[in-house]
Amino acid sequence: MAGLQACPLAVSCFQYMSCYEFCERISRIQHHRELARLFFLHLHEGHVNLAGVDFILTPEIIAQATGIPNVREIWNKRKILDTVHFEPFVQPPFMRHLAGVFPFRFLWSQYAPMMRLIMLYFTCEGRFSQAYSYHIRLLMHFTRVRMMNILVFFYQNIGRMVSVMQRKSPAQQYRSLCHYGLIQLVVLHQLAQQGISWEEFISREFFTAPPQPHP
């Protein structure tokens, strides 16, 4: 949280969009990567059973687990942004060099710290040297230029990741993992609803057995 607290712009923007508490909770979690891997591996049409417990993944469930409101425009990550939307955030000399992926240094310096935090908490790819058009769309959201539904963004992002992960070997799956903090919040929320403690659930043999190739 130190990086977030050191960026007043991000603190203000995340608080306004009801996302600051989500970041706090993600920061406090001791991430369990195997839980996330198994969740993604077995997720099918928004349902997954882990160690005998049923879980659901929908934007509504993510809203309940994170406290982020399920509102605003639904925006597809693959939708192309018009160049005009980049202008407030990208330095003018670099505008003519823009593509779907561009170097992080193209951004105005005042937006760079918040963009890194968006990448850390909301897109979670772990790449900070380059930015994509969807990062600009998220920057537009948090600076209130054009707001979007963050929960649907999470849900669609997870859906794409699941389709890729389920075709990979266990070693490749670990390298592709992201959003494991978010998944843990979703799991904790539904465990509480079912009266199951985290300690009892995560100690089940299902999570300690050696990884097996997915059929």
Last residue of a domain, one of 127, 148, 169: 148
**Whether residue 37 is found in the same domain as residue 90:** no
Question: Does 153 fall in a domain?
Answer: no
Number of domains in the chain: 2
Rounded Cα distance, 18 and 41, in Å:
30
Q: Which residues pair with 53 in a beta bridge?
A: 50
Question: Does 81 fall in a domain?
Answer: yes
pLDDT of 11-70, one tens digit each?
A: 999 999 999 999 999 999 988 889 999 999 999 999 999 999 999 999 999 999 999 999
Question: Does 181 fall in a domain?
Answer: yes
**Whether residue 90 is found in the same domain as residue 170:** no
Quote the domain boundaries for residue 175: 32-71+158-215
Question: Does 188 fall in a domain?
Answer: yes
Q: Which residues pair with 44 in a beta bridge?
A: 47
pLDDT of 116-150, one tens digit each?
A: 999 999 998 878 999 999 999 999 999 999 999 99
DSSP line for 153-214? HHHHHHHHHHHHHTTS-HHHHHHH---HHHHHHHHHHHHHHTT--HHHHHTSGGGTSPP---
Last residue of a domain, one of 128, 148, 168: 148
